[in-house]
A and B are shown apart, each in its own frame.
Chain A
Amino acid sequence: MVEQVQSRIMGFIVSNYLFGDESRAPEPDESLLESGIVDSTGILELIQFLESDFALEVKDSETVPDNLGSVANLTRFVLERSPDAEPAS
């Protein structure tokens, strides 16, 4: 399940922010902001992706780097919020 969720998140990042360039894919623990992959508009897109693809509601108080700052944190956040998370597609 972890791998499936992480792969789905990584797929979104590579396709949405990197135009499919997998050579620039971040390490799971790499900061998406500090690496310049995601900016403030990108965070909005990321939240929308989580809400639509994993049927989560991301509260304002949850929009912190510990939850959304890296692929690893995103994966953990999704699984904590929705242990049976099944990516929509």
Chain B
Amino acid sequence: MTTEDSRFSAAALRIDAEQEATRISAVLTHYLARTRRRGAVVALSGGIDSSVVAALCVRAFGPDRVFGLHMPEKESSDDTLGFSRQVSDTLGIDSALEEISPILEAAGCYRRRDDAIRLVVPDYGPGYRSKIVLPSVVDSEAFRLYSVVVEAPDGTTTKHRLTTEAYLGIVAATNFKQRVRKMLEYHHADRLNYVATGTPNRLEYDQGFFVKLGDGAADVKPIAHLYKSQVYQLAEHLGVPADVRARPSTTDTYSLPQSQEEFYFSLPHERMDLCLYGKNNDVPVEQVAEAAGLTTEQVNRVYRDIDQKRSTTQYLHLPPVLGAAVPEVSHDLD
């Protein structure tokens, strides 16, 4: 793949979708058999990752053993529910609508978030919308500092650098969204004697783009090893609706539309895939740069950002630390 005759390109990320779907299905059925669960709950966001996880579960267990959850809240995109219903209808699985705004209101999610924003934007209140953004990593050596973008009721948009307290306060409040969803997933999983699924792709899993005990909590994470473009290949192979495959990635977490690139990743996923794959597989930087349409300096900045995120988010992956080992309890499954 990196010989003189064959330059590095997106072709390196091609997979045999049928073979991979079969392999993952076997992993899933093995896990369910060992844990004595009867099926899987999948939270459907209408995005590509959860759709592929649901399709893989249907492939592994059959549609009667997969339960979908639609969990929009008042700040979700208007089209989220339409897309997620299209997925459950196409797969022929049973599903339920759990509108989570009342739980979020009761937990103080929106109030706490708005209080934190007011630390840097005192006028912020009803009628305003917001999102958190990061500057691009490819264009500058500067540290990437989070800002909040605020849209006032008159449509005026302003950007404000966040203090530590404001940043942590906003993130801690919005994390209620992922944690409430996971709480409901486990409710249904317990009720049905199913497992709860996690839907991170490799970019998200590697770079810690998930909420601990929120979307990061799951019994199985069937696509955590797959680069995003490989998830798209599986989606097409498994018959995920074309509308869902064509939908841009969004976090659907903040009241202003927010792409994953402006919040977390350095680049659109096609180029991020190439950089992460290149870094993981020791592809010469010059070839990664050419394939991704970047300079070698920009690729090196992306690599440093990847390393920094791995370091920063290591804590998200760690199991709880014990005061001393308890050897009688094994975490390994045959």
Contact = CB atoms under 8 A, between A and B. Distances in A.
B225 interface: no
With a 10 A CB-CB cut-off, give which of A36, A39, A61 has the most chain B CB atoms.
A39
A88 interface: no
A68 B144 CA distance: 12
A41 B164 contact: yes
B163 A40 contact: no
B164 A64 contact: no
Chain A binding site: helix, strand, loop or mixed by DSSP?
helix
Interface in B278-316: 308, 311-312
A15 to B, nearest CB: 16
Nearest to B144: A40
Contact of A48 (B142, B144, B164): B164
B312 A39 contact: yes
Given A39-B308, A40-B308, A48-B163, A64 B145 contact: no
Contact of A39 (B135, B142, B311): B311
A22 B249 CA distance: 45
Contact of A44 (B135, B163, B308, B312): B163
Interface in B238-283: none
Given A44-B164, A47-B145, A64-B142, 20 more contacts: A40-B145, A40-B146, A40-B308, A40-B312, A41-B164, A43-B143, A43-B145, A44-B146, A44-B163, A48-B164, A60-B145, A60-B161, A61-B142, A63-B142, A63-B143, A63-B145, A64-B140, A65-B141, A65-B143, A68-B143
Interface of A: 33, 36, 39-41, 43-45, 47-48, 60-61, 63-66, 68
